[in-house]
Copies of this chain bind each other. A is one copy, B any other.
């Protein structure tokens, strides 16, 4: 991280597969509109349960990206 300014946005990704996949889905969506994404931090892991099994993992992340000069 050099002399730049970074911005962080908070996203919730979801996946029927795993907690890691829920994170990947949030980052993939962020990459559609944001450039220069540099890192993420996990804030919370939760999920929706249907018929006694996890239907969706839902992970809240903060994603940091460099603001263009």
Binary interface profile of A, 15-34, with partner B (CB < 8 Å = 1, else 0)? 11011100111111101000
| A6-B11, A26-B5, A45-B41 given; A19·B20 CB < 8 A | yes
Which secondary structure dominates chain A's binding surface?
Answer: strand
- Chain A contact residues (Cβ within 8 angstroms of B): what range? 35 or more
Is B7 touching A13 in the complex (CB atoms < 8 A)?
A: no
Give the residues in chain B near A41, CB-CB below 8 Å.
Answer: 44-46
What separation, in Å, do the CA atoms of A48 and B46 have in the docked complex? 17
Interface residues of A (CB under 8 A from B): 1-16, 18-20, 23-29, 31, 37-42, 44-49, 52-54, 56-58, 60, 62-64, 67
